[in-house]
Amino acid sequence: MNYDALLQTIVELHKEALGRAALAVNRSLVLRNWLIGAYLVEFEQGGADRAAYGSGLLARLSRDLRRRDIKGVSPDVLERMRGFYLRYPQLRAHISATPSRKLPIPPERSQVETSAAASRKSEALMPAVLPPERILQLSWSHLVELIRLDDPWERAFYENECLRGNWSVRQLQRQIGSLLFERTALSTDKEAVIEAGRTQAPEAPTTLAGLIRDPYVLEFIGLAEKPHYRESDLEKALLDHLQSFLLEVGSGFCFEARQKRITLGNEHDYIDLVFYHRHLRCHLLIELKVRAFRHGDAGQMNFYLNYWKANEVAEGDNPPVGLLLCSDKDATKVEYATAGLDRQVFVSRYLVALPSPEQLRELIETDRAALESSGAAARDEPEDEV
């Protein structure tokens, strides 16, 4: 074996080990979510104190789990776990056969048993059940999309195509959105429609690196997302300066998060910076755009504020305030988004506590000019001669 062969062997060994680890984590995440769904259904149908919680069960459970540092368990995600259990009851046999299981699996209750009985009575009208091992080849992000499909034939169609084509989550979303199933069902040449769907807008399939960076997987194993996956060099540098500036100048501000993720369904949005003001008892959500202001930016900030009020505001806190900073080479605009703040006194107090728009405008303009100048200078430097 020569050196190149040794190097290539070690690279392949590393990839294989990394792949096994990533797939093992994904399997554990999927199985955990199925079990959580099973316990939710069991509690709803057989819990001794279920009536005391009623429709507020998922919201309360989500809050209490987050207090115990379990992430990725918002009420809508818990609802999907419940739906996952009901959509894929065949995973029960796989989990029951796992020798290392310590917690008992909740018994099948009437809701699941009725569904299973109905399936047995109309087997000729139902698609083939996807085997557990095939389900576990899909990521949780894929399954989130499939759970939404009520028609079992439609769901089976996308399961098969997704596994056959090794689709990424974006590919699966695009094919569902383009009504590939409906178009195939209506066509007289079904193979041609399916083949066109397989070859249209090709995209890199799900990779191990993509699986490891999946937000659901990162939350599950307790690793932080890296902001530089999403930030350009210029945007990152501007945010670094802005973060330091507010901590130095803005009295009472405490840094809380960078690239704070908001997840609804399989769509992930990220708030650039989140601060908390000790005296005003409110959060400041900051969004930086390295370009001129667009009307859609205000709507995006309004979405962040409404989400924050519904999911993140603690008892005794004032509503959050949004600060939208838009930077452009020729002009810099500072826009405040204060949707939902119905107390003008509070708004005024907040604006006094925050550095003035003129200070922020000057900071963005100066920083951007300096960063672009240093970048241009670096590009103009002659390369060292070898």
| Mean pLDDT within 74-97 | 91
206 lies in the same domain as 236:
no
181 lies in the same domain as 256:
no
Q: Is the pTM of this model over 0.85?
A: no
Dihedral sign, Cα of residue 297, residue 299, residue 301, residue 307 = negative
**Per-residue pLDDT reduced to its tens digit, 178-227:** 888 888 877 766 676 666 665 554 454 455 566 666 777 777 777 666 66
66 lies in the same domain as 108:
yes
The whole-number pLDDT of residue 386 equals 36
| Mean pLDDT within 109-117 | 48
The whole-number pLDDT of residue 193 equals 62
In a domain, 299, yes or no: yes
**Per-residue pLDDT reduced to its tens digit, 327-353:** 776 666 666 665 555 555 666 666 667
The whole-number pLDDT of residue 149 equals 93
Confidence band, pLDDT 50/70/90 cuts, at residue 31: very high
Lowest-confidence segment of 24-28, 250-254, 314-318 by average pLDDT? 250-254
In a domain, 82, yes or no: yes
73: which residues sit within 8 A by CB, 6+ positions away?
A: 61, 62, 65, 66
371 lies in the same domain as 272:
yes
The whole-number pLDDT of residue 34 equals 95
**Per-residue pLDDT reduced to its tens digit, 228-284:** 556 677 777 878 888 888 777 667 888 888 888 888 877 788 898 898 988 888 898
282 lies in the same domain as 180:
no
In a domain, 181, yes or no: yes
Q: Which of 354, 358, 317, 322 is nearest to 338 (CA)?
A: 322
Residue 188, domain extent: 3-211
Rounded Cα gap, residues 219 and 169, in angstroms: 18
Q: Which amino acid is at 3?
A: Y
The whole-number pLDDT of residue 46 equals 76
162 lies in the same domain as 234:
no
Token pair belonging to 84: 């996952």
Rounded Cα gap, residues 70 and 65, in angstroms: 5
Q: Which of 279, 324, 325, 283 is nearest to 307 (CA)?
A: 283
44 lies in the same domain as 188:
yes
184 lies in the same domain as 310:
no
265 lies in the same domain as 300:
yes
Q: In what order do the strands lie in the sheet with 267-277?
A: 253-264, 267-277, 282-289, 321-327, 332-337
Kind of pairing between the strands at 321-327 and 253-264? unpaired
372 lies in the same domain as 282:
yes
pLDDT greater than 70 at residue 86: yes
pLDDT greater than 80 at residue 12: yes
Q: Which of 323, 328, 337 is nearest to 292 (CA)?
A: 328
- Among residues 211, 235, 255, the one where a domain terminates is 211
11 lies in the same domain as 134:
yes
The whole-number pLDDT of residue 80 equals 93
Confidence band, pLDDT 50/70/90 cuts, at residue 112: very low
| Mean pLDDT within 20-37 | 90
234 lies in the same domain as 101:
no
In a domain, 343, yes or no: yes
In a domain, 244, yes or no: yes
The whole-number pLDDT of residue 201 equals 47
What's the structural domain count of the chain? Answer: 2
In a domain, 384, yes or no: no
CATH number at residue 289: 3.40.1350.10
Rounded Cα gap, residues 157 and 127, in angstroms: 9
Confidence band, pLDDT 50/70/90 cuts, at residue 134: very high
